[in-house]
């Protein structure tokens, strides 16, 4: 029951955040909008990276160092793509994210903080890549 409530909360939060991620009215051009969206995803990626590092630095670690390393490697790679690519970044980063998540064991998904951040990142990437969640 608790897990279902957490899942529902995460889904609602992710949908609200992805819907709220609209560029300000001052950004009118398509390249400007793409850059704005990329910056929003970059912020979420940085949050995931920071939380993974913090969780692996606790004593005892709330996230195994090897698992944090997988997440951080994705974040570093995604940041490079987001900073360099004008178009097509969403599908590239989404594919990389799906591969990264497949490498993580089920134990990683026991941490509510990571689960929430993962859901937000999933939602944003799927929205910008044009994938139906």
Give the ranges where 2-111 is alpha helix by DSSP (H).
2-20, 30-56, 65-84, 89-103
Share of the chain above pLDDT 90, in %: 55
Q: Tell me the per-residue pLDDT of 2-49, one tens digit each, with 9 for 90 and over.
A: 455 545 555 555 544 544 567 777 878 888 888 888 898 999 999 999
What is the third-level CATH fold of 2-129? Butyryl-CoA Dehydrogenase, subunit A; domain 3 (1.20.140)
Domain coordinates in residue numbering, the chain: 2-129
Task: Specify the pLDDT at position 21.
Answer: 65
Q: Tell me the per-residue pLDDT of 81-94, one tens digit each, with 9 for 90 and over.
A: 999 887 889 999 99
Tokens of 130: 């044009």
pTM of the model: 0.80
Query: Pick from 52, 81, 48: which is nearest to 65 by CA?
Result: 52
Q: Tell me the per-residue pLDDT of 54-104, one tens digit each, with 9 for 90 and over.
A: 999 999 999 999 999 999 999 999 999 999 887 889 999 999 999 999 999
User: Can you tell me the distance from the alpha carbon of 100 to that of 125, in angstroms, rounded to the nearest whole number?
Assistant: 14
């Amino acid at each position: 029951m608790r897990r279902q409530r957490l899942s529902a909360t995460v889904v609602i939060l992710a949908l609200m955040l992805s819907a709220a991620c609209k560029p300000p009215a001052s950004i009118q051009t398509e390249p400007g909008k793409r850059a704005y969206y990329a910056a929003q995803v970059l912020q979420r990626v940085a949050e995931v990276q920071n939380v993974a590092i913090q969780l692996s630095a606790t004593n005892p670690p709330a996230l195994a160092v090897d698992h944090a390393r997988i997440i951080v490697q994705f974040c570093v790679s995604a940041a490079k793509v987001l900073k360099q690519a004008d178009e097509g970044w969403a599908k590239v980063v989404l594919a990389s994210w799906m591969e990264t998540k497949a490498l993580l064991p089920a134990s990683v998904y026991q941490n509510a903080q990571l689960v929430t951040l993962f859901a937000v990142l999933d939602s944003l990437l799927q929205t910008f890549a044009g994938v139906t969640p």
